[in-house]
Amino acid sequence: MSHPRPARMDLYLEGELAGTERAEFEAHLAACPACRLELEDRRLLDVAVSGLPPVEVPDGFAAAVMARLPGARRSGVGRVLAALAGTAAVLGSLLGYYLVTGRGLADFVGAAWRAGATLFGLTVRLAAKGFEALRVLLGLVKDLGPALVHGFGILPPLLKAEIAGAAFVLGLTVFGLAVFGVRKVGALGGRS
Amino acid sequence: MTDDSALVRRALEGDRKAFEMIVRKYQQPLVNYLGRMTGERESALDYAQDVFVKAYASLGTYRPSFKFSTWLFKIASNHLIDHWRKKKLPEVSLDRPFPDDEDRDGLQVEDRGPSVARRYELAELRAKVEEALGRIPQAFRELFVLRHVNEFSYEEIAEIKRLPVGTVKNRVFQAKEMLRRELKAPR
């Protein structure tokens, strides 16, 4: 009489054997004490595994996750609250203006208009200054080009072979340090 | 539509409370899985947070035709793989074919030997199992944990790991045999 393979025993325990296969397996079990013992052993191991104690999750875990979520996606209630807060702020400033100055809504609108216009004028003036600075910078770059070309033109006759050699070695060293040094630093940062 | 799908839809509409309900529902199984895989509670909790944050960021890609738990554990499994790669821990690739993959019934335990389970009281056996699990290669341990700790079906595990169902069944069986060998080994 051949015994069922261990894999078949596991399938039986997991309820994955059906029909004829299951009936044949159970018939063999009824007649084979060794297989019954083996099956019982496997069942105990399954019980032990499925009953492993849970890894404890602290009470504040969900709150900690929620605090890490990117950009609060505001709910419907949140949007209503935000609108209410905005309205309250506008009304509050109107009331404050009235209480402090004793003036009415028309005065407030006039003052708000004047403040807006001042802010707009200031922004326009600042932008104009920015454009002017950019124009000067571009002019400088334009003048610098021919000067650099001229400089490079007069440089070679002044360079002696020793100076050129030293410059080449220096350049090579700087290049080597930049490439391999950076890689080294990167590799160190990668270890953790 | 499942409850999870409804919660996801609400979360996508900006209802953070709905996502918090998802977190509360899955925090324990996810931490159990990550805890058994890392062997460290603190790491498991950190990774579980990362997984939920990743899930939230990609909620829009979730398709309600799939089970949410399967989708979430797929993210968790990928997160673990990234972690192992960064740590350069030895991995056993599940893509490598095993000779016995197509012949599950051909697998033999060397000898049935003395009983493993009956050697210990249940509590002691659980402690031994917990310890022995840590010595099983991660790739096998993962399938075993998904099946026997998290109680996913073989089909669900196949979906999480993108493996054929037969391969998953075989590897889970192999993992169990490894566990039995570890429990039998004198220490």
The residue among B8, B166, B119 whose CA lies nearest residue B72 is: B8
Do A42 and A8 form a contact (C-beta atoms < 8 A)? no
Position A182 confidence tier, pLDDT thresholds 50, 70, 90: very low
CB contact under 8 A, B45 and A74: no
**% of chain A exceeding 90 in pLDDT:** 27
The residue among B147, B164, B144 whose CA lies nearest residue B97 is: B164
pLDDT score recorded for residue A25: 93
Measured between beta carbons, the chain A residues lying within 8 angstroms of B42 are none
The whole-angstrom distance between B66's CA and the closest CA on chain A is 23
CA nearest A47 in B: which residue?
B122
The residue among B86, B76, B85, B82 whose CA lies nearest residue B157 is: B76
Dump pLDDT digits (tens) for B72-122. Answer: 999 999 999 998 888 766 555 544 444 444 444 444 444 455 566 666 778
Structure tokens at A165: 């050699």
Q: How far apart are CA B149 and CA B171, in angstroms?
A: 15
pLDDT score recorded for residue A85: 77
Q: pTM for the whole thing?
A: 0.61
As a whole number, mean pLDDT of residues B17-38 equals 96
Select, from the ranges A84-98, A108-122, B80-94, B148-162, the one with the highest average predicted confidence (pLDDT). B148-162
Write the burial class of residue A184 (CB in 10 Å: 0-12 exposed, 13-18 middle, 19+ buried).
exposed
Q: What is the mean pLDDT of chain B?
A: 85
Dump pLDDT digits (tens) for A59-95. Answer: 999 999 999 998 655 555 556 676 777 777 767 766 7
- Asked casually if ipTM beats, i.e. exceeds, 0.85, the reply is no
Structure tokens at A74: 């505001």
DSSP symbol at B11: H
Residue A49 reports pLDDT greater than 70 = yes
> Chain A: which residues have CB within 8 Å of chain B?
5-8, 10-11, 34, 37-38, 40-58, 61-62, 64-66, 68-70, 72-76, 78, 192
**% of chain B exceeding 70 in pLDDT:** 81
The sign of the CA dihedral B97, B102, B108, B109 is positive
Q: How far apart are CA A128 and CA A124, in angstroms?
A: 6
pLDDT score recorded for residue B90: 55
pLDDT score recorded for residue B170: 92
Structure tokens at B61: 């890609």
The gap between the terminal CA atoms of chain B, to the nearest Å, is: 51
pLDDT score recorded for residue B142: 96
Position A1 confidence tier, pLDDT thresholds 50, 70, 90: low
Q: Which of A44, A48, A75 sits opposite B15 (nearest CB)?
A: A75
Q: Which of B16, B45, B125 sits opposite A66 (nearest CB)?
A: B16
Residue B151 forms contact with A (CB below 8 Å): yes
Position B123 confidence tier, pLDDT thresholds 50, 70, 90: confident
As a whole number, mean pLDDT of residues A180-185 equals 46
CA nearest A37 in B: which residue?
B115
CA nearest B111 in A: which residue?
A6
- Cα atoms in the Cβ-side hemisphere of radius 13 Å centred on A38: 20
Residue B35 forms contact with A (CB below 8 Å): yes
**% of chain B exceeding 90 in pLDDT:** 66
Position A190 confidence tier, pLDDT thresholds 50, 70, 90: very low
The residue among B91, B97, B48, B101 whose CA lies nearest residue B73 is: B48
Residue B7 reports pLDDT greater than 60 = yes
Rounded to an integer, what is the distance from CA A122 to the centroid of its chain?
A: 37
Structure tokens at B97: 């074919």
Q: Which of B14, B36, B41 sits opposite A56 (nearest CB)?
A: B41
Q: Which of B23-32, B97-106, B171-180 bottoms out in mean pLDDT, i.e. has the lowest?
A: B97-106
CA nearest A8 in B: which residue?
B105
Residue B154 reports pLDDT greater than 50 = yes
Dump pLDDT digits (tens) for A128-149. Answer: 999 999 999 998 888 887 787 7
Residue A102 reports pLDDT greater than 90 = no
The whole-angstrom distance between B50's CA and the closest CA on chain A is 8
Identify the residue among A3, A24, A35, A45 best suited for mutation to test binding to B, counting B beta carbons within 10 A and taking the highest. A45
CA nearest A48 in B: which residue?
B126
C-alpha pair distances (Å), B127 with each of A44, B77, B120, B146? 14, 25, 10, 19
Measured between beta carbons, the chain A residues lying within 8 angstroms of B130 are 52
pLDDT score recorded for residue A19: 93
